[in-house]
Structure 1
Amino acid sequence: MNETWQAIETLLSSRFPAILEDFNPPCTESDLAFLKDVTQGKLFDLYELYESHDGQSSYDLAFWSPWRLLSVKHIKTNIKVMNEDLVAEWAEDGMSPTDEAEANGPVKPILWSSYWVPIASNGGGDLLCIDLDPDVGGRVGQVIVWWHETVVREVLYSSFTDLMTDYLQDLQAGLYELVEGRGLVKL
């Protein structure tokens, strides 16, 4: 993963320096320990990235539009919102996180799981999450999307490494452009 991230940084530096400048410094040791704890110590590729950059600062400079990589602080906030606030809101409406949802791919067909760890947001309530408890045929560490306005849960990548590798290949192929107010948009 380190080589992939270094190649991404090199391309961003030469083609889209504003995006690279939007990345935060490395996360703290305590934040890294939290990240390892919440992901059960299984996602070394993710840790390597956070040892270099603790997410991004701005939604206007999304790393891969519409997604902005969350800082550990914002990961913590989103975990609390999803696992406590939203679950309480659902309970008031007679709903449960385990209520049925539509699944595209091997993700559990439920509204929410505490085993989904948010790592990116579009700023509008939708999240990219690392799935630590996939459905049959899934893979621990797969990247899923949680849409807040629908009950569709979807597997996007089988791992964070696959996401970053795909992103690098698209950058190398010139498939992104910088759009003001949105960040890098795939053509």
Structure 2
Amino acid sequence: MADRAEDRDVAGRTRAAFERVVALVPGDPLLNPPATDAQLDAAERHLGRRLPPDVRALYGLHDGQVQPTAADPRWAAGLVGGAALLPLDGVLFHWDQWAGFEADSDLDEGAGSEPEGFVRTKYSLRGWVPLTHDGGGNHVGVDLDPDVRGTAGQVMVFGRDDEHHRVLAPSLLSYLEQLADLLERGHGAPGDDGVGWSLRAADGVGPHALFRPGG
């Protein structure tokens, strides 16, 4: 019973944090309908891993955001630091694209973790599950196989252009709560072309530095 009560608390807090973010982000988020338990179970079988309760809770609210296509070129107001949340089929598609890279140890040269010891020093790892895609092979996602100082389910940056994998928050719930706090403090900046938005930090400081990897 304790586990169920804890899961309900996580689900409720995830919903509250997500609703705060949606209310503060400029533009239409173009949210998809909820993912079903059957879809989430199928995604876990595909990944060979259980998803954290907060990830399941978020996708139980909405199966990501609409992705632009030739038939529907609309751009959603991204809810993950300006990037759109992938639907489950997009999560699995991009996770599949990384198959085989983990075994290539030559790619691990130069790989690091920020903070040190939070993320395994690999270029790619099957325990990293993408939640966004920037169009160039880079993601914000959750780490289900952390290093000794990390936390399973921590939110991190990884991808083609990233070697020093930065942890943004110890969980997706913490990430959403921190993001909502940042937006309330005025860190959301409209896009230069009038489309979308991004997180704004002080000059010379990247937006990822606004987050607290330890919560």
TM-score norm. by structure 1 comes to 0.80
Deviation at 1:64, TM superposition (A): 3.5
Gaps of at least 5 residues in structure 1 are none
Alignment partner of 1:140 is 2:152: yes
Residue 69 of structure 1: SS of its match in structure 2?
A: coil
Residues of 1 paired with 2:142 and 2:53: CA distance? 13
- Whether 2:86 is the aligned partner of 1:70: answer yes
Q: CA RMSD in A?
A: 2.7
Q: Which digits, 9 at most, give the CA deviation of each residue in 1:31-73, with x for residues without a partner?
A: 2113444373351111111011111114743224442211100
Contact 1:66 1:182 in 2 (8 A): no
Number of positions where the alignment pairs a residue of Structure 1 with one of Structure 2 = 178
Q: Where does residue 197 of structure 2 map in the other structure?
A: 184
- Which structure's residues are more often strand, by fraction? 1
In 1, the alpha carbon distance for the partners of 2:49 and 2:113 equals: 24
Contact 2:54–2:173 (Cα < 8 Å) also in 1: yes
Cα gap change, 1:47 to 1:112, in 2 (>3 Å): same
Indicate how the Cα distance of structure 1 residues 42 and 124 shifts in structure 2: closer, same or farther if over 3 A, else same.
closer
Which residue among 28, 52, 58 is the counterpart of 1:18? 28
Is the alpha carbon distance of 1:155 and 1:182 closer, same or farther for their aligned partners in structure 2, counting shifts above 3 Å?
Answer: farther
Structure with the larger RCO, 1 or 2 (CA within 8 Å, 6+ apart): 1
Q: Tell me whether 161-170 or 3-12 shows the greater mean CA deviation.
A: 3-12
| SS, match of residue 132 in structure 2 | strand
User: Structure 1 or 2: larger helix share?
Assistant: 1
Q: Is the 8 A contact 1:126 1:147 kept in 2?
A: yes
Aligned 8 A contact 2:127 2:145 in 1: yes
Q: Distance in 1 between matches of 2:135 and 2:44?
A: 24
Letter in 1 for 2:22: L
CA contact (8 A) 2:83 2:134 kept: yes
Counterpart of 1:57 in 2: which secondary structure?
coil
Once the two structures are superposed, the pairs formed by residues 23-42 of structure 1 within 5 Å of their partners are: 23-37=31-45, 38=47, 40-42=49-51
Give the share of equivalent positions with the same residue, in percent: 26
When the two structures are superposed, what TM-score results if normalisation uses the length of structure 2? Answer: 0.70
